[in-house]
Structure 1
Amino acid sequence: MLKPCLFLLQFLSTVSSSSTTIPLGSTLRASDRNQSWSSPNSTFSLSLLPITPSSFVAAITYIAADVLVWSASNNDTGDALVVDSGGTFSLLPNGALRLINGSGSIVWDSDTANRGVSHASIDDSGNFQLPDNDGFPIWSSFDNPTDTLVPSQNFTVGKILRSGSYSLSLDRSGDLNLKWNDTVEYWSLGFNSSINGNLSSPRFMLRSNGILVGLDPSFSSGMVNMAFSTDYGEGNDVFRFLRMDGDGNLRIYSTSGNSGAGNVTPTWAAVTDQCRVFGFCGDMGICRYKDSNPVCGCPSLNFELVDVNDDRKGCKRKMKIEDCPGDVTMLELEHTEFLTYPPEVSDQLFTLAFVACRLTCLQSGSCIASTLVADGRGFCYMKTPGFVSGYQGEVLPSTSFVKVCGQAVPNPPLYQDTSGKDKDIRLQALVVGGVVLATLLALVAVVISFWWWFYREKSGHTSAKYELVDYASGAPVKFSYKELQQSTKGFSEKLGEGGFGAVYKGTLPNRMVIAVKQLEGIEQGEKQFRMEVATISSTHHLNLVRLVGFCSEGRHRLLVYEFLRNGSLDKFLFTPNESLNWQNRFNIALGTARGITYLHEECRDCIIHCDIKPGNILLDEVHTAKVSDFGLAKLMNPKDQRYLSLASIRGTRGYLAPEWLANLPITSKCDVYSYGMVLLEIVSGRRNFEVSPETDGKKFSLWAYLEFEKGNVEAIVDKRLAEVNSEQVLRAILVSFWCIQEQPSQRPMMGKVVQMLEGIVDIERPPAPKLVAEGSSHGTTMTLNSNVSALSTYATSNAPSSSPSFMNIEVPPPRSSRDMTKESSSLLGLK
């Protein structure tokens, strides 16, 4: 039954039940801007779209966001074909679909003349077709894609998405491949390793929920999930599409149906490191990062840009090797790699030492550059003329050599881009040196004045650097390891320990008390670590712990935070002699939600915490909640990889979302799940994963929902609380059950959580959360087991005949599921 089902799925994705019919002889004219062929619900339209006042392309667009999803294009380059203002796009009486210039010349043809085309149609999925009298498509835009795929559009063997020199194709083994010039394969994604036997007809499809799936009749499950957009499953009005971009990267984009033109956001990229795209900076160009953005430059001042207005077109030697009147030398480029991907047959691979890798290329007439990969294998790649694509980065373990004429003239630091014009280097050096010297003298004067003023006011000798901590919170201070050793008295006063390292108390020379976290497993280089810390320190919110500074010295990686005297929330929730009143608890719950909302929805880049728990919620003198460790997930995963090995996952028992266990992508909804567990603990004062005779041997979070179903809300609330706000308690309990739903799409966004807690929006009755066992481990932090079993579902038919009143709210005993819904809803006027 599987093959017929898949055939039916493919057929339904090709032929829509609702489409607009365009009769033979119909014509779109560039001179009439109001003409278009639109789908029945006006989601997509085909028109002659102006790209300049006198240039037009025949294109299908997603109307709500003005996204171009297909165009009549050149098959070799993928470039859209252009006509002038007299151009037409016509469906001729013989069935041919043609783009014709004002002069009458044919620019593009569908090659369907006299093949039985009866009409044209465009449906609500964006597919434009030329069917025959039986409805069979002779030609369709879905079968002739350009650079974009929309949901339900099949991508099969033989089809190509093309953009300039780059293309996406699918081979018989079920692998998606990105290629440069149809030769160099620099990225691949496949599902054939999970399939036994040969694939009969592999294909890919982007689903409307943002998941890229692989399909084949030989699949036992029908489909395999291969890639996820960061917003997968979010919103019913989100339109997503897959595009082969001109920079060589394949991306999934998302746009809200109400967003308007231009508000399109990339939510997944095939190549996470853009500089790894072959040919991104052209022949002999070097790709590097500047403020986290890829930029292109030349290997040295011996080169100049081919086009000063477009640095991606590569570089050329100022003096060709064959025209060199003197000696030829080798320019050494540290931390630089000339990319090598199979099947580059022009490359030669040797196992050579550092000096030999340079000399062998120098002495070879066919070699123009070489790369020594310092990964222990000693591989030396010889690059021959044709195309050389470079990548330079502080953490690359490679050294490269380039053949140049005469003396090698290295670039200024960080590969400043050359303009191709000769400059007076000596004069430039004198000017720069003078400016630097004057700046240093001014800084010395400022520091001396500042020190003199501070010494006069106080008896201590506090460095100006520490004083800046009090006034320039936006700029993290770089500390030496020795300074932090002294401030913490040799790391002697330990405040606690978490999944990312231990925390110690310290005092700066200006008497500011700090908390110093020693990070474990952070292997970034100095430049990358500082860039990440700068990103984290730019986050400012009342409910986030302030980052004071950092240390990146040798293998030492430390973060310096403000010290909060009341410590972490878990001390007040789970210590018998410590407690908080209900209003403090509710304010902490609300403040924590606001802090997480800021990380998810208000920062420039969404920061996923990955370890929300009471131990990471700190309290100041007035018990204001401040989320800590909010940047450590970003530091631990510098390339923002969405798929993590289960063996390397760090989390805390009782707070991990089911996605960690099911090998699904980690999104902000994981933090929502963890927050829901914390919220339940704030209400109950008990750890959600604990079992006891009182909970009938069940996890507390599961037991709590059962009690809620019975109407026994009082049993969930911490017995230490003398007075509570009943309305706030019930809101908190309902929100917590929504947050811990198994399906991420059922959990609310954190901004919605804040609104529900504040009572701004009504809260619907949550379904029963299907909790998942998280394996076992000793201690708080754990490494997950891959063997996971789901807890069985439960029934509530044996509810007690009566239940006590709760905080002046009468909760009648439930008589049925429908009655329970009405009664619980009536407590707050819920829907």
Structure 2
Amino acid sequence: MEQNQLLLTKTFIFFIFFTISSSTDIPVGSTLSASNSTQKWSSTNNTFSLQFLPLNSSYFSLCITYDSLQIWSISTEADSGATFSFLADGNLRLNSGAGNILWQSNTSNSGVSHATIDDSGNFLLKNRSNFVVWSTFDNPTDTIVQSQNFTVGMVLSSGSYSFFLNRTGNLTLQWNNNVVYWSLGLNASINANLSNPRLGLQSLGILQLYDASIRGSVIMAYGSDYAESGDFLRFLRLDNDGNLRIYSFSRGSGNAIVRWTAVNDQCQVFGYCGNMGVCSYNDTGPVCGCPSENFDFVDPNDSTRGCRLKREISDCPGSVAMLQMDHTKFLTYYPETTNDLYYVGISACRGNCLSGSSCVASTILADGSGQCYIKTASFVSGYQSAALPSTSYVKVCNPILPNPPPSSEEGREKDKLKGWIVAVVVLGTLAALILLEGSVWWWCCRKSPKFGGVSAQYALLEYASGAPVQFSYKDLQQATRNFKEKLGEGGFGVVYKGVLANRTVAAVKQLEGIEQGEKQFRMEVATISSTHHLNLVRLIGFCSESRHRLLVYEFMKNGSLDSFLFATGDESGRLLNWEHRFNIALGTARGITYLHEECRDCIVHCDIKPENILLDDNYNAKVSDFGLAKLVNPKDHRHRTLTSVRGTRGYLAPEWLANLPITSKSDVYSFGMVLLEIVSGRRNFEVSNETNRKKFSVWAYEEYEKGNVGSILDTRLADFEVDLDQVTRAIQVSFWCIQEQPSQRPMMGKVVQMLEGIMEIGKPPAPKAAPDGSISGTSLNMSGSISTFATSAPGLSSSSSFQTPVAQSSMNVERPTSSLIHSKRENLIIN
């Protein structure tokens, strides 16, 4: 009797132990079957489960789920007879119904004793010492969840796309293990040699980078619902469209909401539309198409699989031709640029591809760079948008068959309308009568001033290739969320952030003080939009509707230069190192040089200042607001008064206040002031005890003469590596640029050469101070005649390797004239 009681007690204890352990541990020998939808292995709190989920009526996927959300899966499809087994040797194995091995963990003979799913969603294999032998967190598929560490060597994969973290802390998206189409690195202000970086997603929605060499962590991205309360699971996923996104999932909702996207423009994801596919946008999102009717979809049911020629080039019965695609580019990322980049014209870019046996397509950029990319037969990924300043060519067999416009649904349904013939006839008759009456009214009233004003509003001018896109006011209201997010405000109007229909982020400027009519405004916009250069902000489009005048520019993520140069000590993250500063100075000089000397219609900017120098994602300088002064105020600029000057205090050249002709040398003066600010990190018109209450440019020249170049340099750069030769060169160039007499200032092309070190620089004369300290470098007692300016500058080097910037043989010295034009070009646009 006692033995039976003892046996019952042991059995009960074993049963209790097994029940408790089975709620947390999965013993060896356990199996899941695809045919049994109720089987699952769950975490202690039943939040996460490992189970088979149906993909369709025939195939299943083994995955870990949070509610209905998959956070880990085995990519191999399994049939209805498949089983997933935790074998006695410690190996996990997925077998098909026929017994074939589809996947395994390769953990046999590793001492595995049990498995478990913890409350964070990690499925682990452990030994008897509870040491983790294998886990899903260490072997991610396409998703990272909260509390999961993503380290160097791990990869998220989805189709041809992969995401990884490299040793330097860069987050990288890659296509086909070859083409890197997106990368996010550390801020330039973080100077650290990383030892073992890891990436983690916090429950608040912050994606952070950790490393022993970094104090705390670095925020790489965060979701739009950052820190919002609720029962959310936030996760990072590499989707099958090649984009990386942060999602929020509310339990029970069945719906995951996108909170952050790595590549904002989906069409910029390499290979999104497959080989020879062309990505564009409709009202709902990105769509994939083929270059022309010379192509067919590889899979008619899936346009992202790409396109193929109906007739291969090698099988052409006749000649080969180049299909022209306007506003289209074929995406080019490293390593493509190493071998397939050329600097040629449009004809050569097209012709070289036509004659090249391996070339299938080419793209020429209309941004002033002259870059031509040749595409070989390996893989070609296209992007088409009205905002793209590029033209592409595709090799096809003659005849060229362009894509037709979208077909009308009404035309395909005519046969269904036979019962309504009578109604159609009646409606047609009424329409004809209305049209006739409207024609008579138009003929009688077309000379009416009121009618003419209305029709002019909708009149379209024909533009050359690369013309700006015309937006309606309603379009821009929607893009800016009714002008909600203000980026800045200047002399020409307020700038707002907007997102266009093709997901392009843009800067929308509401112009103020427009004095031009509809036609003239459009012509000026067309002139501005035809100006393309790597260091100029690109004009995407415009709105001219009723009284509304708006311009749409490309968006510069890092804002304007002034926010970096004049940042306070608390904003050290906004500090630019010397390398960035010098590149910004050089890029700005190149952009202004293009405006003055290289573009078709030379433009004098008239308002060069740090606020009008914008920085892109890589801190490349882009000059903005060129061409706007003439657009806003087209009056004769030769007779400006102080009240009519639209320039900015501290950057105006002396001739503005002396009522002298305004030429490109006025921009040179402003650039010199900006250049000195780039070096010093402080405003030129500010005075302080440090400068003995002198204007900074005057004090700086005194320090330069003493050989104290380091005292002029921004003190915040003390801990950074600085090229003192470049600093000295920049300071010398700035002093030449801010000379009081325009004839002593170099042309911008010479400025670029001096900054690059191609030309030697002689010692510049001392710049003069403004009497009242309010306008830098001006003298109110200047002669009204420009002929009184000296035409030589003593003190410049006479070395043969340096062409003296003020020598009459190489300089355009301004002379009194009845014309505004003092440039070598006929069409000088004063901005």
Contact preservation (8 Å) 1:174, 1:192: no
Change (3 A) 1:363 1:257: same
* Offset at residue 133 of structure 1 (A): 1.5
Provide closer, same or farther for how the CA distance between residues 526 and 246 of structure 1 changes in structure 2, counting only shifts above 3 A. closer
**Deviation string for 1:701-735 (max 9, x for gaps)?**
xxxxxxxxxxxxxxxxxxxxxxxxxxxxxxxxxxx
1:332–1:400 Cα contact (<8 Å) kept? yes
Task: Please say if residues 147 and 243 of structure 1, whose CA atoms lie closer than 8 Å, have aligned partners that are also in contact.
Answer: yes
Residue correspondence of structure 1 range 363-762 to structure 2 within 5 A: 363-412=355-404, 442=431, 445=434, 448=437, 553=522, 555=525, 557=542, 644-645=558-559
Kindly indicate whether residue 246 of structure 2 is the aligned counterpart of residue 252 of structure 1.
yes
- Report whether the alignment pairs 1:85 with 2:80: yes
Match of 1:159 in 2: 154
Q: Which amino acid aligns with 1:645?
A: G
C-alpha distance in 2, partners of 1:531/1:337? 18
Corresponding residue for 2:32?
A: 28
CA distance in 2, matches of 1:292, 1:358: 33
- The alignment status of 1:132 with 2:127, answered yes or no, reads yes
Instruction: Name the SS for the 1:241 alignment partner.
Output: strand
Aligned equivalent of 1:586: none
The match for 1:190 among 169, 180, 185 is 185
Q: Please tell me the residue identity of whatever aligns with 2:235.
A: F
Shift of 1:84: 2.4
- The 3 A distance-change label for structure 1 pair 500 and 195 is closer
Q: Does the CA contact (< 8 Å) of 1:369 and 1:401 recur in 2?
A: yes
Contact 2:195 2:211 in 1 (8 A): yes
The answer to whether 1:243 aligns with 2:237 is yes
Cα–Cα, structure 1 residues 235 and 523, in superposed 2: closer, same or farther, change >3 Å?
Answer: closer
Q: Is the 8 A contact 2:286 2:502 kept in 1?
A: no
Aligned-partner SS, 1:322 = helix
Instruction: Kindly indicate whether the alpha-carbon contact (under 8 Å) linking 1:646 and 1:661 is maintained by their aligned counterparts in 2.
Output: no
Contact persistence 2:33–2:83 (CA under 8 A): yes
Q: Distance in 1 between matches of 2:559 and 2:299?
A: 44
Letter in 2 for 1:229: G
Residue 316 of structure 1 is aligned with which of 292, 308, 316?
A: 308
CA distance 1:368–1:523, change in 2 (3 Å):
farther
The equivalent residue for 1:210 is 205
Distance 1:274 1:399 in 2: 20
Does the 8 A contact of 1:165 with 1:181 survive in 2? Answer: yes
* 2:297 maps to 1:302: no
Q: Do the aligned residues in 2 keep the contact of 1:395 with 1:524 (CA within 8 Å)?
A: no
Whether the aligned pair in 2 keeps the contact of 1:373 and 1:399 (CA below 8 Å) is yes
Q: 1:153 to 1:331 in 2, by over 3 A?
A: same
Q: Does the CA contact (< 8 Å) of 1:519 and 1:559 recur in 2?
A: no
Query: Is contact 2:168-2:194 (8 Å) kept?
Result: yes
Deviates more, 1:289-298 or 1:340-349: 340-349
Q: Is the 8 A contact 1:167 1:244 kept in 2?
A: yes
On the 8 A contact 2:487/2:496 being kept in 1, the answer is no
Match in the other structure for 2:228: 234
Deviations 1:133-188 (A, max 9, x none): 22221110000111111011111111111010111112222211111100011011
Q: CA RMSD in A?
A: 4.9
1:47 deviates by 1.0
**1:470-520 deviations in whole A, cap 9, x for unaligned?**
xxxxxx99699xxxxxxxxxxxxxxxxx987799xxxxxxxxxxxxxx865
Residue in 1 aligned with 2:107? Answer: 112
Matched residue, 2:48: 44
TM-score, normalised by the number of residues in structure 1:
0.52
Task: Give the Å deviation of 1:248.
Answer: 0.7
Cα pair distance change 1:451/1:144, threshold 3 Å? farther
1:408 to partner: Cα distance: 2.4
Quote the Cα distance in structure 1 between the aligned partners of 2:371 and 2:34. Answer: 57
What is the CA-CA distance between 1:67 and the residue it aligns to?
0.8
2:58 maps to 54
Paired residues of 2:265 and 2:503 also in contact (CA < 8 A): no
Structure 2 counterpart of 1:296, one-letter code:
C
User: Could you tell me how far 1:660 is from its partner in structure 2?
Assistant: 11
Match of 2:583 in 1: none
Partner residue of 2:73? 71
**2:335 aligned partner:** 343
Change (3 A) 1:406 1:560: closer
- Cα contact 1:19–1:124 (8 A) shared by 2: no
The alpha-carbon distance between structure 1 residues 97 and 561, as it changes in their structure 2 partners (threshold 3 A), is farther
CA distance in 1, matches of 2:23, 2:440: 77
TM-score by length of 2: 0.52
- Following superposition, the deviation at residue 198 of structure 1 comes to 3.0
Say whether the 8 Å CA contact 1:326–1:406 is kept in structure 2.
yes
After superposition, the Cα gap between the structure-2 partners of 1:227 and 1:197, relative to the gap in structure 1 and judged at 3 Å, is closer
In structure 2, stretches of 5+ residues that fail to align are 1-20, 413-423, 459-469, 475-485, 511-519, 526-540, 565-569, 575-681, 686-715, 717-831
Deviates more, 1:153-162 or 1:521-530: 521-530
3-state SS, counterpart of residue 52 of structure 1: coil
In 2, distance between residues paired with 1:236 and 1:661? Answer: 34
C-alpha change, 1:499 and 1:69, in structure 2 (3 Å) is closer
Q: Aligned to 2:374, what secondary structure does the other structure show?
A: strand
Q: What is the CA deviation profile of residues 449-482 of structure 1, one whole-angstrom value per residue up to 9, with x for unaligned ones? A: 59979x99xx99679989x99xxxxxx99699xx
Aligned position for 1:269: 261
Distance 2:264 2:65 in 1: 28
The superposition leaves residues 624-648 of structure 1 with CA deviations (integer Å, 9 ceiling, x where unpaired) of xxxxx9xx9xx97877x9x653658
* Residues 567-607 of structure 1: CA deviation (Å, up to 9, x unaligned): xxxxxxxxxxxxxxxxxxxxxxxxxxxxxxxxxxxxxxxxx
Offset of 1:43 from its aligned partner? Answer: 1.6
The residue type paired with residue 212 of structure 2 is P
What pairs up with 1:7-22 in 2 under 5 angstroms? 20-22=24-26
Structure 2 Cα separation of the partners of residues 363 and 71 of structure 1: 48
Q: Give the conservation status (yes or no) of the 8 Å contact 1:451–1:463.
A: no
2:219 equivalent in structure 1? 225
Does the CA-based 8 Å contact 2:499-2:506 persist in structure 1? no
Q: In the TM superposition, what is the alpha-carbon distance from 1:217 to its structure 2 partner?
A: 1.2
Asked if structure 2 preserves the Cα contact closer than 8 Å seen for 1:522 and 1:557, the reply is no
Residue correspondences, number: 491
What amino acid maps onto 1:248 in structure 2?
A: G
Q: Answer yes or no: is the 8 Å Cα contact 2:507–2:552 preserved in 1.
A: no
Amino acid paired to 1:445: I
Corresponding letter in the other structure for 2:29: G
Counterpart-to-counterpart distance in 2, 1:46 and 1:637 = 50
Letter matched to residue 43 of structure 1: T
Aligned CA distance change for structure 1 residues 526 and 341 (closer, same or farther; 3 Å): closer
Return the alpha-carbon distance in structure 1 between the equivalents of residues 223 and 243 of structure 2.
15
In structure 1, what residue type is equivalent to 2:312? K
Cα distance, 1:231–1:636 mapped onto 2, change above 3 Å: farther
Aligned to 1:312, the other structure's residue is in SS state helix
| Residue of structure 1 equivalent to 2:175 | 180
Distance in structure 1 (CA, Å) of the matches to 2:80 and 2:547: 65
Judge conservation of contact 2:326–2:390 (CA < 8 Å) in 1: yes
Q: Residue type of the partner of 1:238?
A: F
Measure the CA separation in 2 of the matches of 1:346 and 1:661: 36
1:656 corresponds to: none
The AA in structure 2 aligned to 1:149 is I
Distance (whole Å) between structure 2 residues aligned to residue 58 and residue 233 of structure 1:
32
AA at the equivalent of 1:152: S
Deviation at 1:411, TM superposition (A): 2.2
Structure 1 pair 295/529, CA: closer, same or farther in 2 (3 Å)? closer
> 1:99: Cα distance to partner?
1.3
Q: Deviations over 1:350-388 (max 9, x none)?
A: 110111111111122221211111111101111111101
Q: Alignment partner for residue 327 of structure 1, among 319, 335, 341?
A: 319
